[in-house]
Amino acid sequence: MSSSSVRRSGISNYARYLNVLSGTTQVFPVEGQFDLLETTTLSEAAASIEFTNLTSKYANVYQHIQFRTVTRSTRATALDFIGIRLNGDTGNNYTRHAILGTSSGVGRYGLTGTNLLSQTDGPSAGNTANEFMGSVIDILDAFETSKKKTLQIFNGSAGQTIGVASGLWNNTNSLNSVQFFSGNSANLAVATRVSLYGVK
């Protein structure tokens, strides 16, 4: 497993140029852009990927966080879903809903009092080789202690589902850790990658 952490340089006056031609227009970064904070990429199968100590590292700088994931599991069947837990909470303190589309139709589900949040179904070992699920997961007001934590999830893969999901963690604690794992007790496959971004 490889992991990296990216820190801001402290440079306050900088500009981006769209090209190197003379007279080109400068584009200045604005507040609200995404900062890449950490990335984990699996070089071998693993039970989970977890990001920890988020409050102490990022609460003073960022309002929201976002995960961008490329995932696949080692489950022997064609499908698996990726579970998500916050702050190590394994209790029945989550609510999740989703709308998903497949080649055969559209489905939906809603679950309350569950012990995890999740993406919709994605590829596993019994599926087409080298096919992964791509997801974008927003956790809004992640460090606010007056709000229960809300997630919005967009995901899809070429041969399986496209999904839009929402999730609630029934807790107002500041977000300190996020764990990703197979929802069916398999491992996350080699080359699974999860990146954490911060939004001010």
pLDDT of residue 122: 86
Tracing tokens 């956790």 back to the chain, one arrives at: 139
**How high is the pLDDT of residue 4?**
58
- Amino acid code (one letter) for 98: A
Q: Which of 137, 122, 35 is CA-nearest to residue 86?
A: 137
Q: How confident is the model at residue 66 (pLDDT cuts 50, 70, 90)?
A: very high
**pLDDT range class, residue 147, cuts 50, 70, 90:** very high
Residue 128 pLDDT: 85
Q: Is residue 30 very low, low, confident or very high in pLDDT (cuts 50, 70, 90)?
A: low
Q: Residues 136, 66: contact at Cβ < 8 Å?
A: yes
Strand-strand pairing, 34-41 and 193-199? antiparallel
* CA separation for the pair 73, 42 (Å, rounded): 11
pLDDT for the residue 33? 84
User: Average per-residue pLDDT in the chain?
Assistant: 87
CA angle 178, 78, 72 (to 5 degrees): 30
Question: In the predicted model, what is the mean pLDDT of residues 91-103?
Answer: 91
Instruction: Give the torsion sign (CA, 180, 147, 168, 197).
Output: negative
pLDDT for residue 7 is more than 90 = no
Can you give the pLDDT at residue 24?
56
The closest alpha carbon to 196, from 87, 55, 33, 67, belongs to: 67
Closest CA to 138 of 67, 87, 85: 67
Q: 126 in the Ramachandran plot: left (φ > 0), alpha (ψ -120 to 50) or beta?
A: alpha
CATH number for the region 2-199 comes to 2.60.120
Of the two residues 24 and 103, the one the predictor is more confident about is 103
**pLDDT score of 18 more than 60:** no
* Domain residue limits, the chain: 2-199
Q: What's the pLDDT at 14?
A: 47
**Better-predicted residue by pLDDT, 81 or 192:** 192
Phi, psi (deg, nearest 5) at residue 55: -60, -50
